[in-house]
Structure 1
Amino acid sequence: MNISVVIPLLNEQESLRELHDWIARVMQSNRFSYEILFIDDGSTDGSWETICALAEENEAVKGIRFFRNYGKSQALHAGFRMTRGEVVITMDADLQDNPEEIPGLYNLITAQQYDLVSGWKKKRYDDILTKNIPSKLFNWAARKTSGLKLHDFNCGLKAYRKEVIKNIEVYGEMHRYIPVLAKNAGFTRIEEKIVQHQSRKYGKTKFGMERFIHGFLDLITIWFLSRFGKRPMHLFGALGVVMFLIGFLSAGYIGIDKLYKLYHHQPTILVTQNPWFFIALVTMIIGSQLFLAGFLGEIILRTKTNNDRYKISDILNVDVRKEEQKEGQDNIKNSIPG
């Protein structure tokens, strides 16, 4: 199969049929073999019924339905697990992403051999104060932190080689940083393509200003995890040792100063009246706690088990056992030295 289109959605009933018909026209005109995988992230407006109707009309349509709203990252994670295409395209369901971009993205992956191609909505049709300006600040911070020279990290329109999405974990709210996750996993051939952005035709956006606050917090998280996620002792242990040494040296200074004054018969004060006593005490306690935090982090990292972060209610046209077996075979192949 050439292409898998993964579309997470929440209450987008009005746009689904139009989006499906548009994607199908593009695929048929380019003679692509394809599948369209809709992930219903707990919709309450009849989106799932529309997906069921589309699946009856077109066997290429598949669906996953969550019991409740778990978030876009979890929806993408579930979709990535079920895809079968050699190239995976993600896009939003609100018709702001243009399906006509799919052939260009596909060619960049197959002909140019990129691992990931991220869309760049250079000309946007969003509110300047609530979306455009915060988005520019967010993308600037993401570029500085990650080292990736992308203009639009949060664009939903992206293309991936199958190996990329099968080897990254999208969790929490990390869908904004899939290019960073891919880079950290060793997929470095990442490119950007200017794509057409369209104004929302139906309904209203599901994201408010809080998404930028969450985005910056997630940016700090992914920076930390990319540097110390596999070796927390390197950060907490190092800080703990430094703090403990400061406390130990401060305590040594107190002792030497006390002995010096006693030897020269100079007046002395109680140790607890010396401000260095409290500096030594606090820094040694903090140092010990940081060291223990790093030690516990190493233990947790080595004993953790991966649990599902969402519950699926219904599945359409997807053979779960077949996909899981194929995924397991791919993992075995990837683990065999080349």
Structure 2
Amino acid sequence: MLTAAKSLGAYAENTLTVELSLVVPIFNEEESVGPLIDRVQEAMSGYADRWELILVDDGSTDATLANARAAIGRPGLDLQIVALQRNFGQTAAMQAGITQARGRLIATLDGDLQNDPRDIPGMVAELERRELDLLVGWRKNRQDGLLLRKVPSWIANRLIGRITGVRLHDYGCSLKIYRGSIIKQVKLMGEMHRFIPAWVAGVVPSSRIGEMPVTHHARQHGVSKYGISRTFRVILDLLSVMFFMRFKARPGHFFGSLGLGLGALSSLILAYLFVEKFIIGNSIGTRPLFLIGIMLFLSAMQLITTGILAEMIARTYYRDESTVNYIIRDVYNGDHPNP
């Protein structure tokens, strides 16, 4: 117990020494990762407090990891590389980096050089000035193709804002600044990185979420991993977000309400047919309404049972918050942390 207490104390002390963590998920960005590290180091050279760069290699199959490791030990760079065992997706990679981050503030950005690290110091200052918990980048002048990126993004932003109530111009921008204590309360699963502002709004008031115009560059290397099909996935994910935001802790209320509604309708139908059969004396065996009443009753029982099972699963989920959706193969640390 004493050893554990000392370890926790040492970890807490080490955490306090880092003001800002930069988390960058990367996947098959062998041509971009080197220039990315250079740009980050150049952009943060005038930052007064201690910062760290965390690259999360999401199971790259090219030379991305090797090129990133070449920067380990560079003077003035506190670099940590988290190598995942396979490709788990951007959300899982982002979660892995956030979990590893030691900073009081955490910044996330893409590894394809489209986000500009020079925006980060200004965003940090803006977050502190406005006393926000999350500051989202707004790519006012996007350097993407109209059909493949801008149109899907425009549709997704409108849908997300309307359903979640968090009004932002650009949900999809990966360049964001968080307070570490807040984002670590949010567990990212699936493709939830698109909806991080909505999830954060479940932890803090939406008034503590803001946005700021940022620079956006055209992709220089590789190919985009998104297309028009992304819009349809966003719609499906958005339905999940809506459900989780309203019924995450009480799924039984959602399924139970549907079940009770169908049960009430079934009861009315069966009561009417009871009168028809036993009071009036009409035959009901071949009437479609009889079959409908029975099917509605069975559906109601199924939904209520589903609600009970969902409640049990939700309670199990909340008891086991340590479950993660990624596996770390190795972590590489630099030998020369920046002062």
TM-score by length of structure 1 reads: 0.89
| Counterpart Cα distance in 1 of 2:230 and 2:89 | 12
Report the Cα offset of residue 69 of structure 1: 0.6
Letter in 1 for 2:313: I
Equivalent residues in 2 for 1:250-265 (5 A)? 250-262=269-281
Tell me, yes or no, if structure 1 residue 277 matches structure 2 residue 290. yes
Report the Cα offset of residue 115 of structure 1: 0.3
Point out which structure has higher relative CO (alpha carbons under 8 A, 6+ apart): 2
Tell me, yes or no, if structure 1 residue 25 matches structure 2 residue 38. no
Report the Cα offset of residue 236 of structure 1: 0.8
Match of residue 108 from structure 2: 90
Report the Cα offset of residue 187 of structure 1: 4.8
| Counterpart Cα distance in 1 of 2:47 and 2:264 | 67
| Counterpart Cα distance in 1 of 2:139 and 2:122 | 15
Within the candidate set 221, 224, 227, 2:243 is matched to 224
Match of residue 321 from structure 1: none
Match of residue 148 from structure 1: 166
Match of residue 219 from structure 2: 200
Within the candidate set 145, 148, 158, 1:130 is matched to 148
Report the Cα offset of residue 12 of structure 1: 0.9
Letter in 1 for 2:333: N
Match of residue 331 from structure 1: none
| Counterpart Cα distance in 1 of 2:47 and 2:325 | 37
Letter in 2 for 1:178: I
- Structure 1: where are the runs of 5+ without partners? 263-267, 319-338
The 3-state SS of whatever aligns with 1:273 is coil
Report the Cα offset of residue 35 of structure 1: 0.3
Tell me, yes or no, if structure 1 residue 42 matches structure 2 residue 59. yes
Match of residue 314 from structure 1: 330
Query: Structure 1, residues 155-209: CA drift from partner, whole Å, max 9, x if none?
Result: 0100001112211111111000111110012253000111111101111112233
| Counterpart Cα distance in 2 of 1:197 and 1:247 | 57
| Contact 2:152–2:230, Cα closer than 8 Å, also in 1 | no
| Contact 1:115–1:187, Cα closer than 8 Å, also in 2 | no
The 3-state SS of whatever aligns with 1:258 is helix
The 3-state SS of whatever aligns with 1:181 is helix
TM-score by length of structure 2 reads: 0.89
Number of equivalenced pairs: 312
Report the Cα offset of residue 73 of structure 1: 0.4
| Counterpart Cα distance in 1 of 2:315 and 2:74 | 48
Match of residue 301 from structure 1: 314
| Counterpart Cα distance in 2 of 1:22 and 1:255 | 77
Tell me, yes or no, if structure 1 residue 81 matches structure 2 residue 99. yes
The 3-state SS of whatever aligns with 1:56 is coil
Query: Structure 1, residues 245-276: CA drift from partner, whole Å, max 9, x if none?
Result: 111121111111223324xxxxx32x212232
| Counterpart Cα distance in 2 of 1:211 and 1:41 | 20
Q: Which moved more, 1:274-283 or 1:165-174?
A: 274-283
Identity level (%): 34
| Counterpart Cα distance in 2 of 1:106 and 1:201 | 26
Match of residue 120 from structure 1: 138
| Counterpart Cα distance in 1 of 2:101 and 2:142 | 30
